[in-house]
Structure 1
């Protein structure tokens, strides 16, 4: 009960993360030995490996008990829960780890979950299809482009693409904030309220299944050479929390290795598990997503330097963050 109270307190305080926690030390873990509280932003495709490890009992097999498993809604709330000690590990995107590192130099990235930038530009079927990436970006000039919100990875991709050919998304397009709901995004595209979407998977696959959109530019597909192999979905924590949880972390990594291996195993099993994870998703979208996941999910949770450096460069170039630690600074210290 005390763990739940601590978690709720962190959740309430989350919006104040950037100011209130700037001068506060990270608290130690509130969980007993053998237990990890693992929070995540949502049930997006990036966190599918966690679902597999839980569903198939890998954490239990490795001698680890999972405590609180909150879906916190935003990366800021994940970071706030880590700072309070109410969760031991947070699953989010690497942007959130970079943001926490600004106020806590003990921030550590524990596991790789997705090593491609899994945001796609989606357009209606009738939209022009130029041959080159540059011409595709030019065709977006002057358009209304739906994003999840300001400061998001969806906005950053548009900014990055436009700036790569000397345009400014703030003046050369209209960015429309749609929130993160799938139905709202696809509805806006179908009703012509936006001309394109910049959204996380599986929006592109769901739009295609509903015959209202198609993938136009996909970093995960290799359409943006400078973003190939970028570390995106991660599990992160702080050194202070991890110092008390070395055995538990080792068990977590063993379980995650098994889950990641499953994604690269039997495609039929992956499809079945994905259907359980993304309940209500169109079967055609699930079928399209399975081979994509097998390409963008790493074989092991180890954080590779090249993947990290690609993500770091993108975040600095797109101004998602102003500073980001180098590779050696975010590794777990033994």
Structure 2
């Protein structure tokens, strides 16, 4: 009789993991803002959603997609979203503006951004300095794609005002802008970049999908896609943040083990931009630049600060607390809980 009760009790407990987990979470319903969810830059977020890793942690996550990372940031600052899935450097920019935001789990070990030239409008391109006076497409003005353009321009003595920045998004609109000659260059991500490369509509000038190239461009490890949120959100909802981190670390690890066929099966059809082969090529190009375990490199904040300071003298002169823009505390616990993903 006692054994039967124990078995029944065990089965009941096993049948209610989400309920039990949800009770422990301060905020089971979480809204995540992202800028260009179809991008491989955000693949861990998509995998955590599609493989139900968020649900496994007791979370009910709503993901709201925007045209670029700067728009996603505005959603959290404005209060319509809780967490941003976006570029790490925004946490530094926002501290400079007096707002405390903190990254707590990494998706991208490099920015994965490619600056490509339009071979039709710039057939004689020789170097970044040739971009003076040209039209450059970015995902959205102020986003990480724009920051990389500014940084590369600064390295050759050009200012952001020396070019025209045009928001083209991260999908078919970006492809059309390049092919029609509306822009002379583009700072964007995969799968857009691989699609344009394969059709001969883009020539690479700088490629941060490659770890060595990224470190050469930025002078050190440059953390990229991550989950970040206002510090008060982390303070009030530590169990919720831990649950989000657990799901993302599992996604990071799953991606590193996954083959192209598994990735294609997991992502929504619309992300493939009508060409599975292109998406597979893009995934293989980006896989090495995605985080293997969610850990944010300790030198990453300094690298990101230097990149931002190179195009903003006021930010460069500011005394910022770079230890306050990230934490690995949640990631360490997630890796202990899911050592194999």
TM-score interval for Structure 1 and Structure 2 normalised by the shorter chain = 0.7 to 0.9
Query: Which runs of 5 or more residues in structure 1 are unaligned?
Result: 1-30
Change in Cα spacing, 1:86 to 1:170, as seen in structure 2 (3 Å) is closer
Contact 1:53 1:255 in 2 (8 A): yes
SS in 1 for 2:232: helix
Shift of 1:150: 4.1
- In the alignment, the residues of structure 2 paired with residue 314 and residue 147 of structure 1 have an alpha-carbon distance, to the nearest angstrom, of 17
1:153 is aligned to 144
Contact 2:26 2:239 in 1 (8 A): no
Residue 42 (structure 1) aligned to one of 36, 42, 66: 36
Contact 1:232 1:311 in 2 (8 A): no
Residue 163 (structure 1) aligned to one of 147, 154, 163: 154
SS in 2 for 1:92: strand
- In the alignment, the residues of structure 1 paired with residue 132 and residue 111 of structure 2 have an alpha-carbon distance, to the nearest angstrom, of 22
Shift of 1:40: 2.1
Alignment root-mean-square deviation, CA:
3.2
- In the alignment, the residues of structure 2 paired with residue 214 and residue 324 of structure 1 have an alpha-carbon distance, to the nearest angstrom, of 39
Shift of 1:104: 4.8
1:258 is aligned to 250
Shift of 1:51: 1.3
Change in Cα spacing, 1:271 to 1:328, as seen in structure 2 (3 Å) is same
- In the alignment, the residues of structure 2 paired with residue 278 and residue 88 of structure 1 have an alpha-carbon distance, to the nearest angstrom, of 24
Shift of 1:175: 2.2
1:270-285 equivalences under 5 Å are 270-274=263-267, 276=269, 278-285=271-278
- In the alignment, the residues of structure 2 paired with residue 105 and residue 312 of structure 1 have an alpha-carbon distance, to the nearest angstrom, of 16
For 1:58-117, what per-residue CA distance to the aligned partner results, in whole angstroms no more than 9, with x for missing partners? 12223x222433224454554454346553322122243334334555321111111212
Residue 123 (structure 1) aligned to one of 97, 117, 126: 117
Shift of 1:205: 0.8
1:56-67 equivalences under 5 Å are 56-62=51-57, 64-67=58-61
For 1:197-233, what per-residue CA distance to the aligned partner results, in whole angstroms no more than 9, with x for missing partners? 2223332112123332233321222445132531121
Shift of 1:168: 4.0
Change in Cα spacing, 1:285 to 1:331, as seen in structure 2 (3 Å) is same
2:300 is aligned to 307
Change in Cα spacing, 1:186 to 1:69, as seen in structure 2 (3 Å) is closer
SS in 2 for 1:71: strand
Residue 192 (structure 1) aligned to one of 181, 187, 191: 181
- In the alignment, the residues of structure 2 paired with residue 214 and residue 289 of structure 1 have an alpha-carbon distance, to the nearest angstrom, of 15
TM, length-normalised to structure 1: 0.75
Residue 87 (structure 2) aligned to one of 93, 96, 115: 93
Change in Cα spacing, 1:275 to 1:290, as seen in structure 2 (3 Å) is farther
Query: Which runs of 5 or more residues in structure 2 are unaligned?
Result: 1-24, 331-341
> What is the total number of aligned residue pairs between the two structures?
297
Change in Cα spacing, 1:308 to 1:291, as seen in structure 2 (3 Å) is farther
